[in-house]
Chain A
Amino acid sequence: MRFLSSVIILLVAMSTNAESPPAVSKVSEKAITVKESVLQLNKDLYQLEEDLLSPATTKASVFLSLTYGEFFEPYSINVLVDDKQPIQYLYTKRQVDALRQGAIQPLKDLNLGPGKHQIKAIAKGVDKNGKARELVVEKEIEKHDQPLYIELKIQDKKEIQSAELLISQW
């Protein structure tokens, strides 16, 4: 990216006459139209797919966030709801970087019936010294007729130079 920027600058700097940007070809115009339409379609598809998979009444979305991530770097997460519906995820470096920059990962949309459910999460990763660590949390959550948002939060505890895994629901 940086090199591209430099190339642009070099090209701009080396050109003797100010040139107007090249006209968009017909093929490109068509490609742009297709892209725009696909984006629009995508929106409908995502919505439809969500409604098909998890109607609002039973929908429970599980998210994962990482606050700072100085004392814990996640390698994987494993979530169990009522000892079933396992969610397993392995992280790439780019994803961990994104989480550290404040992004929140949508882990999965689940279908939960009304009432109380037991959720258990295990985050495996390494601590600040590269030593393997496991964070575990278990909590009871309750599902009503509105979509449920569950956040698994890996949070640094600076006072004990460690991290903890928390569960919140809205």
Chain B
Amino acid sequence: MKFLYFILVITVGLSSVHALTPEQEILRLQKGEYYFHYLTQDFPAAMSQVSRWRGQEAMGKEVDVMEAAMLLSLGLHKQAQTIFEKIQKEGGVSSSQSWFYLARRWFELGEFYNAVYCLQQVEFEKIQRDYQLESQFMMASSYMELGEYNRAQKIITKMPRSSIWTGYAQHNYIIAMIYGNNSGRSLNLLIEDATFYLPKTKEANNLRDRINLISGIHYLGLGKNRSANKYLKSVSLQGPYTPAALLQYGWAKVEQGEYEQALQPWRELQTRFNRFEPDVMESMLGVPRLFELMGAYTQAIKSYESIEKRLLAMTEFVNATQQKLNSASWLDSWLAVQTDTRWGWQTPLDSTVPFDDVSGLLQLLLAEDLVVKDMREYRDLVLLSQYLKEKEENLLLWQKMVKQREFEALTRDVKPMFDQANRILAAAKHDYEELSLYVDTSAQELFSFPTSIQEGSLEKLTRSTLSLEMLLSLNSTTRDVELYQQRWARVRGILLWQMNEEKPSMQWQLKRNLKNTKQYMVQAKRQLLETQLADNWSDDSWQGLDVRVDKILQKTQALKELADQAALESKNNILLKSENFIVSQRNRINDYLSQARLSIARLYDEALQRKIADGDILSHQVGQ
């Protein structure tokens, strides 16, 4: 039913489809084609479509909006901004759907002012129901970013509570409240409201976890440990926010002096998650610290010593894995698992790098937006290079094909064939006219349609009658032949009468055949004309194309070199970042290692001091 709400954007401004002129119909098809490429995320094809419309008066300003959305999708933000500024300056009418897509891109890029401007151009009733909710979410969130919380709140109030978009809007509103929005609303109530009505989907569960985690951390910071506990406990154990929630839950328990209960979430954290995760590393040092707080110093020392060994093993692992990084095999294996062959910012990518030692270590680096962006860029360049190579090969084949077409067109001699066909047609026409004339005159003639048998019989009868006449004139016969003569004459008369009876049917048959023949002749004539026309058109298949193919081939080859070079630089850039990350990871491990060792020294020192204080060891023995 929801589609009933959706009005085809391509017919906006046109009262009825039936009233469209052929030019408008073709334009409607072309616009629909653009949306098809765009919605199925074939951005290069859509961009090519838009480029062809440039300069067409009928497309108006819509082509600008479409192009801006496309450029944003392809990651060409600067160019999109230029077009967008032009739209804002000059104004113009465009479809709501185009504005919506453009708003979505700006919002994703954090350009909230531009996003609001685009959303204000959207007529909500003219877009799909789902898009209406997304528009409201974007509008509310953009207002929050621009500091207009009351406006945002009004929009959220009008949104249906069970929609995931409402959940996202409320999530953003909670963050805004935490970081300075003094709207006077109860944060607790808002959190309850945001999490309670969310749908039962994986995406909604993750959002619920996120809201609970943010709230828990917020209350932990305020020293409201019971509230923090409540929200942190609500985070599921199977989501992306589980490690952070487990760590924070442990610290909340520590703050409340419930040391033994703090151990459980940290143990869970250390057994279930990657040891290079910062939350896991922090919890590793948290455990002996708890033992200290509990006064279990011996256990604390043993725990620190155990952690020291683990951290040393991790350092060795990092050193060993660093050598594998230089081969960039992890990057290639990541490229290999991508099933989508398109390039561009919106291309859905499998962000999971196939699991091995390197990807396990680089997990945190690979979660960084900037690194993911670099990887996307590298992938785009690799794809572009492959695409250009493919096009280069195709163009070389086309080059041969065009030459072949030219050769065949120039050597093909169709004139004799057409002349012969014309002659055959003219002869047929002549025969047809003769027959037509004969049919027309046959009405006056008695003996007009004899068969060959009838013709033979008639000739025999005539000859016999003449012979009998001759016999009669000689009068030398022994018998009277006059009776025979009369009989033969009667037979001849009957034959002529029969032929006369059959004449109308024969006449009708011939007329029908003539009519069919006329139709065949018309068809043959049209076929001949069409073939002659096709021969005239055939020059289009090669004339002027060789120059165009050569020119584009040269451009493709030059661009491929540039793409190869850029892909290499991009790859080196990622490898450099991964190396830097490894260095920072090693430093982080070293820091924790130093802290563990310092703690071990401190605990031994304190134990020694306690023994001296208790008199178990004399002070002069310490020096020995």
Contact = CB atoms under 8 A, between A and B. Distances in A.
A170 interface: yes
Interface residues of B, number: 92
B175 A10 contact: yes
A161 interface: no
Given A31-B381, A52-B545, A113 B534 contact: yes
28 contacts: A1-B108, A3-B203, A6-B210, A9-B144, A9-B145, A30-B569, A33-B566, A34-B384, A34-B566, A35-B343, A35-B384, A38-B44, A41-B555, A41-B559, A42-B48, A45-B391, A52-B398, A55-B537, A63-B32, A67-B8, A68-B3, A70-B3, A95-B36, A101-B97, A102-B97, A103-B32, A104-B31, A145-B537
Nearest to B1: A70
B387 A38 contact: yes
A115 B523 CA distance: 11
Interface centre among B6, B171, B541 (most CB of A within 10 A): B541
Interface string B27-40: 01101110110111
A33 B537 CA distance: 39
A137 interface: no
Given A27-B573, A98-B40, A102-B10, A39 B566 contact: no
Interface string A50-94: 011001111001010101111000000000000000000000101
Contacts of A58: 534, 537, 540
Given A38-B559, A69-B3, A102-B97, A48 B534 contact: no
Contacts of A56: 540
B552 A12 contact: no
Contact of B39 (A35, A52, A94, A170): A94
A104 B29 contact: yes
Contacts of A30: 562, 565-566, 569
Interface in A1-42: 1-10, 12-14, 22, 25-28, 30-42
Nearest to A44: B552
B239 to A, nearest CB: 12
A48 B171 CA distance: 50
A101 B128 CA distance: 8
A5 B108 contact: yes
B569 A33 contact: no
3 residue pairs, one from A and one from B, having the closest CB atoms? A104-B32, A98-B39, A55-B540
A103 B71 CA distance: 19
Contacts of B48: 39, 42-43, 46
Interface string A124-166: 0000000000000000000001000101000000000000000
A118 interface: no
A102 B39 CA distance: 10
A5 B39 contact: no
Given A36-B76, A104-B36, A42 B44 contact: yes
B566 A27 contact: yes
A69 B590 CA distance: 62
B388 A63 contact: no
Interface in B338-379: 343, 369-370, 377
A33 to B, nearest CB: 7
A23 B9 CA distance: 38
A31 B97 contact: no
A115 B35 contact: no
A61 to B, nearest CB: 8
B175 A149 contact: no
Nearest to B180: A13
A62 B171 CA distance: 47
Given A103-B35, A170-B22, A43 B52 contact: yes
Interface of A: 1-10, 12-14, 22, 25-28, 30-48, 51-52, 55-58, 61, 63, 65, 67-70, 92, 94-95, 97-106, 113-115, 145, 149, 151, 168, 170
Contacts of B33: 63, 103-106
Given A8-B110, A115-B530, 14 more contacts: A1-B104, A5-B138, A34-B563, A35-B75, A35-B76, A39-B47, A39-B48, A43-B51, A48-B548, A55-B541, A67-B8, A100-B6, A151-B25, A151-B29
Given A5-B108, A6-B168, A98 B36 contact: yes
A67 to B, nearest CB: 7
B6 A8 contact: no
Contact of B29 (A26, A68, A114, A149): A149
A41 B552 CA distance: 8
Contacts of B236: none
A128 to B, nearest CB: 11
A5 B29 CA distance: 33
A57 B540 contact: yes
Contacts of B565: 30
B86 interface: no
Given A31-B381, A43-B48, A170-B22, A115 B168 contact: no
B500 to A, nearest CB: 45
B425 interface: no
Interface string B44-82: 110110011000000000000000000000111011000
Contacts of A48: 398, 545, 548-549, 552
Contacts of B270: none
B573 A98 contact: no
B32 A31 contact: no
B29 A115 contact: no
A4 B108 contact: yes
Contacts of B104: 1
Contacts of A27: 377, 566, 569-570, 573
B575 interface: no
Contact of B141 (A9, A38, A42, A94): A9
A88 to B, nearest CB: 18
A47 B540 CA distance: 14
Contact of B40 (A1, A65, A95): A95
Given A6-B171, A104-B33, A114 B534 contact: yes
Contact of B172 (A9, A115, A149, A170): A9
Contacts of A99: 36
Interface in B1-32: 1, 3-4, 6, 8-10, 22, 25-26, 28-29, 31-32
Nearest to B28: A104
B380 A102 contact: no
Nearest to A100: B3
Interface in B73-132: 74-76, 78-79, 97, 104, 107-108, 110, 128
A102 B206 contact: no
A30 B377 CA distance: 10
A41 B556 contact: yes
Given A38-B384, A115-B526, A13 B179 contact: yes
B535 to A, nearest CB: 10
Interface string B141-161: 100110000000000000000
